């Protein structure tokens, strides 16, 4: 019997996608209980050192006691924060790290953001049995480029909760009626943060061009809260209200006929989000975000049977079905000396393809079911079990590249200076790292 002690955050993540990913992942672990696995959780506050100052005893002492008493065969860090390096640094005061059982780390998109902590952690974990579990093939390539040896690396794509996201014809009919959408009208949808690096400008401008020449009435729905983080590693600092102003001005500058077809829905609860996804006809996201290791929003759209056009960037390429069981196409991305280059003609191709396909409820349902066969929580639990049953290997450490990268990142993060090595280009360090986010898959 394997005994897992899962260290998780006791509060909801500030990241929208992690608010969904964490409970889904824990569901997978819960399903393993009684199948040769025993699972216990240890809750820890994100800022545990600060909160400890207010309490009797410390979180870390309680964790050390838990490890001593429960005697886990493996310890799992399931959340992105608090960072495992912080926890292990303080835990080592009470239990030498060499005496800890094998360690499992779920690695999120913020691996690059927290590269400084990962580098420090790598130094501590040399020769210790570990598993790093990343969420997509692209993230695996990126992570591997910083490792001497990839035998400790596994890929596990986060599951989607089918109770929250599925195709429902009644909801489609209801929402389309409420919004006065006529039968042959097409709704293109984007859902996710409205953030600079999510590249909404391209979507809006290309949509305007699409509508201008389309013979079918079309709408664009943008669902999500505005996020003003900008692109801090590339020297673009946002202020509250910046993205709204940018997007609003862009929409206002379009002809009235086009403007009237664009709806900004703002943040929506998941039930409304599912209904909107059910009512839409295609999903588009042209993100070039620096931490796009997965893509929970496209995954949820595919779980509702929506055909999707996504950039060939980060985790997005992992959603393509090689056997065409569901529809997910990629828009090619290239890194040139001028930055990212997108093949926007793919939008027209995709739109025309989808326009020709009548959106039958049976097709949508079938696509959704096929997708969920791969991405359901039950299926996820099975995949996770296989990964966890694999033999642990001793970690040989991160390469010196991670130290260099973390230092450059660190200085930019704290100084908000533009560093030529981190701006999108094809002849700098950004390229060496982020070329792995491009799969080159033909779809």
Binding footprint of other proteins on the chain (CB under 8 A): 11, 14, 16, 47, 225-226, 228, 238-242, 244-245, 248, 264, 266-267
Burial 53-72 (b: 16+ CB within 10 A, else e): eeeeebbbeebbebbeeeeb
CB 138 within 8 A of CB 314: yes
Supply the DSSP string of 387-413, one letter for each residue: HHHSPPEE---B-HHHHHHHHHHHHHH
Structure tokens at 332: 């090619």
Q: How far is the CB of 157 from other proteins (least distance, A)?
A: 25
Tally of CB atoms within 10 A around 246: 17
* Helix (H) / strand (E) containing 244: helix 242-252
Nearer to other proteins, 56 or 240 (CB): 240
Nearer to other proteins, 12 or 123 (CB): 12
Q: How far is the CB of 248 from other proteins (least distance, A)?
A: 6
Structure tokens at 408: 């450059």
Query: How many residues are there in the chain?
Result: 443
Nearer to other proteins, 248 or 362 (CB): 248
Q: How far is the CB of 373 from other proteins (least distance, A)?
A: 32
Going by C-alpha positions, the residue among 279, 133, 161, 292 that lies closest to residue 219 is 279
Q: How far is the CB of 399 from other proteins (least distance, A)?
A: 33
Going by C-alpha positions, the residue among 234, 239, 253, 291 that lies closest to residue 417 is 234
Burial class (CB in 10 A: 0-12, 13-18, 19+), 30: middle
Nearer to other proteins, 47 or 373 (CB): 47
3-class secondary-structure state, position 181? coil
Nearer to other proteins, 275 or 346 (CB): 275
Q: How far is the CB of 284 from other proteins (least distance, A)?
A: 21
Task: Please list, in sequence order, all residues whose beta carbon lies within 8 angstroms of the beta carbon of residue 212, skipping any fewer than 6 positions away.
Answer: 258
Nearer to other proteins, 34 or 266 (CB): 266
Supply the DSSP string of 40-83, one letter for each residue: EEEEE-TTHHHHHTTSSS-HHHHHHHHHHHH--SEEEE-SSSS-
CB 264 within 8 A of CB 247: yes
Q: At what angle do helices 361-375 and 377-389 cross, to 10 degrees?
A: 20
Nearer to other proteins, 99 or 239 (CB): 239
Q: How far is the CB of 11 from other proteins (least distance, A)?
A: 8
Q: How far is the CB of 180 from other proteins (least distance, A)?
A: 20
Q: How far is the CB of 125 from other proteins (least distance, A)?
A: 28
Residue 14 gets which letter from DSSP?
S
Q: How far is the CB of 245 from other proteins (least distance, A)?
A: 6
Q: How far is the CB of 15 from other proteins (least distance, A)?
A: 9
Name beta bridge partners: 190: 222
Nearer to other proteins, 86 or 281 (CB): 86
Nearer to other proteins, 94 or 244 (CB): 244
Taking the C-alpha atoms of residue 143 and residue 135, their distance in angstroms, rounded to an integer, is 11
Nearer to other proteins, 116 or 193 (CB): 193
């Amino acid at each position: 019997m394997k005994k897992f002690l899962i260290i998780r955050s006791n509060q909801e993540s500030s990241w929208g996608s992690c608010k969904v990913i964490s409970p889904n992942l824990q569901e997978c672990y819960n399903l393993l209980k009684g199948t040769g696995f025993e699972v216990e959780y240890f809750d820890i506050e994100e800022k545990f050192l600060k909160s400890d100052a207010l309490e009797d005893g410390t979180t870390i002492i309680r964790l050390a006691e838990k490890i001593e008493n429960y005697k886990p065969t493996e310890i799992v860090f399931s959340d992105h924060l608090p960072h495992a390096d912080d926890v292990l640094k303080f835990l080592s005061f009470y239990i030498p790290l060499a005496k800890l059982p094998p360690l499992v780390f779920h690695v999120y998109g913020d691996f690059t953001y927290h590269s400084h902590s990962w580098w420090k952690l790598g130094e501590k974990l040399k020769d210790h049995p570990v598993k790093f579990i990343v969420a997509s093939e692209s993230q695996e390539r990126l992570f591997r480029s910083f490792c001497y040896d990839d035998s400790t690396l596994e890929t596990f794509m986060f599951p989607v909760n089918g109770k929250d996201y599925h195709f429902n014809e009644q909801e489609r009919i209801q929402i389309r009626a409420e919004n006065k959408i006529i039968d042959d009208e097409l709704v293109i949808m984007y859902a996710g943060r409205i953030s600079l690096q999510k590249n909404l400008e391209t979507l809006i401008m290309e949509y305007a061009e699409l509508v201008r020449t389309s013979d079918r009435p079309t709408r664009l729905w943008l669902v999500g809260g505005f996020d003003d983080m900008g692109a801090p590693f590339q020297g673009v600092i946002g202020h509250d209200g910046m993205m709204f102003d940018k997007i609003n001005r862009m929409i206002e500058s379009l002809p009235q006929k086009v403007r009237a077809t664009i709806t900004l829905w703002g943040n929506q609860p998941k039930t409304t989000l599912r209904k909107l996804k059910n009512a839409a006809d295609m999903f588009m996201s042209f993100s070039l975000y620096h931490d796009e290791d997965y893509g929970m929003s496209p995954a949820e759209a595919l779980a509702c049977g929506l055909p999707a056009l996504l950039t060939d960037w980060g985790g997005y390429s992992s959603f393509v079905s090689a056997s065409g069981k569901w529809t997910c196409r990629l828009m090619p991305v290239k890194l040139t000396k001028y930055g990212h280059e997108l093949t926007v003609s793919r939008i027209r191709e995709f739109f025309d393809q989808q326009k020709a396909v009548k959106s039958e409820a049976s097709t949508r349902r079938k696509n959704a079911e096929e997708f969920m066969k791969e991405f359901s929580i039950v299926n996820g639990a099975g995949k996770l079990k296989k990964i966890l049953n694999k033999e642990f290997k001793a970690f040989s450490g991160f390469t010196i590249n991670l130290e260099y990268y973390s230092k450059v990142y660190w200085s930019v993060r704290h100084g908000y200076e533009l560093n030529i090595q981190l701006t999108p280009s094809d002849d700098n360090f950004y390229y060496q790292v982020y070329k792995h986010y491009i799969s080159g898959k033909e779809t």
